[in-house]
């Protein structure tokens, strides 16, 4: 998303950032239960100063002992696997090794011993951008009663999730693991994407028994061997034309031994995979293509296969609301979501289902691009079913979108959804010229091709009383 600061410091609701809401949740728990609920943040070398200064200034009661610092590793040349170089910016040579480093960071920072010394045995771990992953005491009770060392929250796959990784049983030893698309043979793609056969995916909300974690770390010499996969990246995340790199990322293992079904019953899940995975010593899951840099990462969920007796529990989608793209950020910032009294984001009761937002991946890849397009405020999406934006389109808080709305700006200059000219633009099915956009400079209104999907409408609220126009 092209950030120059910690993602957790992005504003998501009003002036509240991800980190604000997380801190307020913890403070609220402390006040409600009169217990010192511990709060830890794993920072990288590039996010530590920002987040620590933020917490020290705004939440001093949480500040002492809140950080454990992630390690850093050099990026690798994809051909020789030697250390990469970057003359223009030497700092680009280094990268954090992924959230799988949480286990090493717990040990290296001394936090694991510290927590156990304070009598704290159970930890809930999640991504900072997933505000749905709150401390749920029912889930904690379920985990404690299971006696497992590791529990993963999973959700049921839908058609939208079929290309992502899923839970499977390893044929060789019966261990439940995650299968990622990079591991899947071409001829097995149909089976891989069968959501009736492979039903669950990992939310990356984890519950860990710290006592059993320490026992495992002691047994394996302090290092949990997590498998890796490779993703294409650029050296400069803000510049898509910069040097191509490879990000070797640990796969999220999504394999429970037991799943809790909708009715609360426990049972074996999912069905056995018929595709045998690579042998255990094969750590890279496929041969890297000929790009010039490689970046090594691991994922914390992959550890599920390292704990005998690990389990998983199927949770509602409300516990999985990550912000991975500007599409997600726009939706969360809009009135389609509200913040509850205990600082959890929740779908606005006026919405039957969450709107589907699809922004142009080139024009809205970076947060700065989204903020430029919404510098006059976030449009209303509470009555929107689908918003599709192609090209550079600027919106404002005066815009109210209803139904399925589509903008298409094929020009090379930004256009602004007209708020001064029309109180409503309506598109008959099949029309190709239906929504006026004003030039970003505030110039005359121009027509553009595309517009609202059949029968939908975009309404721009304003103070004057112009009559509605139809196209």
Report pLDDT digits (tens) over 100-109.
889 989 998 9
Predicted confidence at residue 443, as pLDDT, reads: 33
Predicted confidence at residue 215, as pLDDT, reads: 95
Q: What angle do CA 385, 387, 388 make, to 5 degrees?
A: 140
Predicted confidence at residue 188, as pLDDT, reads: 87
Q: How far apart, in whole angstroms, are the C-alpha atoms of residue 80 and residue 172?
A: 33
Predicted confidence at residue 167, as pLDDT, reads: 77
Q: Identify the DSSP state of 198.
A: S
Q: Is the dihedral of CA 55, 56, 62, 65 positive or negative?
A: positive
Mind giving me the DSSP string for 381-401?
EEEEEEEEEES-EE-BTTEEE
**Cβ neighbours for 190, distance < 8 A, ≥ 6 positions apart:** none
Q: How far apart are the first and last CA of the chain?
A: 36
φ/ψ (deg, to 5) at 80:
-100, -15
**Cβ neighbours for 327, distance < 8 A, ≥ 6 positions apart:** 357, 358, 359, 364
The parts of the chain modelled with pLDDT lower than 50 are: 250-293, 420-471
Q: Identify the DSSP state of 317.
A: G
Closest CA to 202 of 139, 127, 253: 253
3-state secondary structure of 125: strand
Q: How far apart, in whole angstroms, are the C-alpha atoms of residue 436 and residue 422?
A: 8
Predicted confidence at residue 323, as pLDDT, reads: 85
- 18 in Cβ contact with 8 (< 8 Å): yes
Predicted confidence at residue 231, as pLDDT, reads: 59
**Cβ neighbours for 433, distance < 8 A, ≥ 6 positions apart:** 447, 448, 449, 451, 471
Q: How far apart, in whole angstroms, are the C-alpha atoms of residue 382 and residue 9?
A: 25
Q: Is the dihedral of CA 25, 27, 33, 38 positive or negative?
A: positive
- 417 in Cβ contact with 399 (< 8 Å): yes
Residue 21: C-alpha distances to residues 82, 113, 186, 247 (Å): 41, 28, 43, 30
Predicted confidence at residue 336, as pLDDT, reads: 92
Predicted confidence at residue 471, as pLDDT, reads: 33
Q: What angle do CA 13, 14, 20 make, to 5 degrees?
A: 65
Q: How far apart, in whole angstroms, are the C-alpha atoms of residue 162 and residue 171?
A: 21
DSSP E strand boundaries for 391-444 = 393-394, 399-408, 415-417, 424-426, 436-439
Question: Which position has the token pair 């691991």?
Answer: 298
Cβ atoms within 10 Å, residue 145:
8
Predicted confidence at residue 39, as pLDDT, reads: 94
Q: Sketch out the chain's domains with CATH numbers.
A: 71-106+127-206+221-319 (3.90.550.10), 326-460 (2.160.10.10)
């Amino acid at each position: 998303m092209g950030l120059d600061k910690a993602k957790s410091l992005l504003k998501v609701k009003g002036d509240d950032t991800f980190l604000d809401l997380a801190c307020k949740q913890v403070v609220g728990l402390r006040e409600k239960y009169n217990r010192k609920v511990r709060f830890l943040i794993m920072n990288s070398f590039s996010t530590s100063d920002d987040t620590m200064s933020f917490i020290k200034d705004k939440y001093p009661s949480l500040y002492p002992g809140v950080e454990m610092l992630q390690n850093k590793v050099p990026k690798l040349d994809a051909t020789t696997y030697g250390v990469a170089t970057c003359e223009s910016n030497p700092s680009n040579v280094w990268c954090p090794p992924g959230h799988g480093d949480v286990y090493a960071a717990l040990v290296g920072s001394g936090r694991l011993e510290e927590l156990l010394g304070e009598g704290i045995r159970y930890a809930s771990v999640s991504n900072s951008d997933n505000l749905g992953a709150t401390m749920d005491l029912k889930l904690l009770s379920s985990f404690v009663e299971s006696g497992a060392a590791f529990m993963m929250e999973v959700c049921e796959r839908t058609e939208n999730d079929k290309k992502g990784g899923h839970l499977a049983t390893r044929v060789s030893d019966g261990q439940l693991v995650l299968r990622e698309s990079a591991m899947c043979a071409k001829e097995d793609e149909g089976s891989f994407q069968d959501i009736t056969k492979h039903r669950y995916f990992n939310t990356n909300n984890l519950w860990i028994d710290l006592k059993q974690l320490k026992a495992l770390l002691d047994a394996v010499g302090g290092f949990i061997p997590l498998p890796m996969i490779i993703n294409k990246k650029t050296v400069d995340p803000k510049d898509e034309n910069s040097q191509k790199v490879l990000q070797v990322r640990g796969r999220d293992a999504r394999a429970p031994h037991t799943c809790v079904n909708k009715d609360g019953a426990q049972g074996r899940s999912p069905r056995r995979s018929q595709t045998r995975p690579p042998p255990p010593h094969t750590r890279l899951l496929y041969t890297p293509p000929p790009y010039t840099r490689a970046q090594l990462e691991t994922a914390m969920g992959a550890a599920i296969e390292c704990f005998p007796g690990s389990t998983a529990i199927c949770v509602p989608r409300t516990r999985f609301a990550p912000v991975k793209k500007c599409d997600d950020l726009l939706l969360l910032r809009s009135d389609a979501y509200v913040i509850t009294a205990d600082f959890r984001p929740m779908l606005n009761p006026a919405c039957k289902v969450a709107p589907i937002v699809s922004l142009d991946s080139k024009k809205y890849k970076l947060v700065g691009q989204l903020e430029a397009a919404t510098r006059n405020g976030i449009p209303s999406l509470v009555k929107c079913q689908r918003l599709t934006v192609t090209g550079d389109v600027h919106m404002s808080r005066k815009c109210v979108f209803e139904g399925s709305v589509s903008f298409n700006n094929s020009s090379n200059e930004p256009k602004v959804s007209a708020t001064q000219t029309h109180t409503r633009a309506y598109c008959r099915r099949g029309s190709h010229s239906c929504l006026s956009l004003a030039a970003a400079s505030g110039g005359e209104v121009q027509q553009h091709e595309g517009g609202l999907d059949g029968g939908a409408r975009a309404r721009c609220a304003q103070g004057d009383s112009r009559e509605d126009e139809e196209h």
